[in-house]
Structure 1
Amino acid sequence: MNPEEKKRTKLRNGSMDKVGNVTIEEVKRKIEIYCLCSYCIKKMYIKDSGYLSVTTLNYTSAQFTSFLLTGVPGLEGFQIWISIPFSCMYLLAVIGNGLVMAVVARDKSLHAPMYLFLTMLALNDVLLCTVTVPKMLVIFWKGPSLSMFPACLTQMFFVHALFLSESAVLLAMAFDRYVAISAPLHYATLLTGSFIGKVGLALVARSVAVVTPGVLLILRLHFCRSHIIHHTYCENMGIAKLACNSITVNSIYGLTAALLTTGLDFVLISLSYWLILRTVFQLPSREARTKAFGTCGAHLCVILIFYSLAFFSFFTHRFGHQVPRHILILLANLYLLVPPTMNPVVYGIKTKEIRMRVIGLFSQPKRSKNNEAAKNRGIQDR
């Protein structure tokens, strides 16, 4: 009896309690799920890494395929510790952006273009990190997680669509600041309520139009290799690389779409801030220049972090074959989580109007309690 047959015999008899990081009970549960999804598993083997891999599958459609998300490869023993800062960042992002949206929604005096764009950014940030972080934390806490093909495609669609809309909102905010500083007399006529509404619809339409072909290109692929994705979420090229047919079209489309959307956004944002800084240099007041530099500098830091992490992750995933996989996965998570955590502080709390409203939001209950106590004392004195 060869070693492969011995392994299969041990698996059938239940004499092997654990294979790598996966218990036999987990293996059986995942096999049952595959069978319920009309899979016919013909041949299985256990890889040296310890994860279950399905090599030969008889299926009728790619829609019935499932993927196993494993988390950060090589750092499985540290994932519970990695989850702590990620959890804190996620909570800060949700609470911070939620406060910004609540403050702007409550106060009609803040229904100006700059604050409406800030609300769009806050909503997009909450959605962007919520699409990935909860699933990622489940993987960090409980181990590899099975994701059905439709759910995986849905997550992939929203990750890329929300990233594109984030880039578009940052561009709109840069244009808003450029008009406010360089052409203040035309600000009210250019950035009207209808214009902002059209911008919101345009950025949603652009995201859907760009990401949908990428999803359709994934649907044409046939998956006959390993169904294990060494990642914390479903990502376009991470899925495509598991296909047995050519993914050249997928790669070319992804690269072209990224350069024509996110790349162009970055160029236009850089141009806007260069024009803003040129105008700031011409301001006669030193105090005004210092204030403008402080605001623009903070904005530029967030923008540079957002795009540098995104571009590094994007290009190394395609061309950086020498970069360790765990570095790629961590960067792919950070570029979706760091900006949503920083944006409420840089764009929200540093803005005086937002900051004062947030402080008022928490001090108002205390004020009302003090007023009520004063009224009660007055009634007792009478």
Structure 2
Amino acid sequence: MSFVYDKLLGGKSGAMGLLVLSVLILIVFPLFLDNFRLNLVGKYLTYAFAAISLVLLWGYGGTLSLGQGIFFGLGGYGMAMFLKLEASSPENTAIQSTPGIPDFMDWNQLTALPWFWEPFNSFAFTLVAILVLPALFAYIIGVAMFKRRVGGVYFAIITQVIAVILTVLIVGQQGYTGGINGITDLRTLNGWDMTSDGAKTLFYYINCALLIGVIVLSRYILSSKFGRLLLAIRDKEDRVRFSGYDVANFKIFIFCFAAFVSAIGGAMFTLQVGFMSPSFVGIVPSIEMVIFAAVGGRMSLIGVVYGTLLINFGKTAFSESFPELWLFLMGGTFIAVVMFFPNGLAGLWSQYSPALLQRFRATPDESKQVKIASSLDMKEFN
């Protein structure tokens, strides 16, 4: 019981934070939001996976990646490939020149399904590929970078360049990837209509359950000896190296795990929204994910979920009300948060919550004494 309470839930404060978040996303939002808005929240929560991955990689690991959109996109494209193949049965594509292949391949005069698409006819293979391929790609990048002690701003720039390269590759290979339009017209999942309101609601709950599971798993990792060493590497990397630990292996592992988490979000995004395009792979979405983490608090697994919701709610509200100014308003919001709340929403909560809780717990006499003391302090100050 102690293991579950301390390691998985994060003690009393962690358990309460997770409970409040669970009630909000599993009960409050479904009760008070219509299907359209609930689906929007589901889309926002898929971004929270990438924000959580940055807590692990950047907040605790001290390694800023500007390319988490890479792994988010790989997970999303993996799921989209399976769904597109299911939607491209010979019966559904009978009017094409080559029935049985995705429509964008037929438009680009391909006459057979490419070999690397074939395994995605299997749902089991797709689920494994969604998790393994992004982690494997992260492993290749991590070994190439961390074994050579590449870090800091150089690592951030390299991940950004890789995101650009992958975006250009996806757009340029239109016949194989759908190009700038991405993979669209996704209708069914194993024969089940995924475009209905009921399906969207089910995907929302699955998304929430996976998000909570990722938070719990991440807490376990961070509360273990590995997590303590990760913090030590962030603060005193040379000292940890001189103590006999292979620092590169620690960084490679957390980078791969962060890619794994981001890929889950990408796959759920495809299911929740119904398409995937290169606009979710490149620099802009990757930087937005960093903003989500910075606003929520890059040391808080739960705070970044609120940060993701806040930024995306603001993005939607500003774009609806001020279509010509919303980018400036979003930029101003981010600058204001960074200037006045450098530790994000989580830092704001940790700073003021003890006083608030003390005030609520205080008896009437104690509250009166606090008010008197406060007024005396103000008189002395004046």
**TM-score, length basis structure 2:** 0.27
Larger Rg belongs to = 1
- Structure of higher RCO (CA pairs closer than 8 Å, 6+ residues apart): 2
Structure with the largest fraction of strand: 1
**TM-score, length basis structure 1:** 0.27
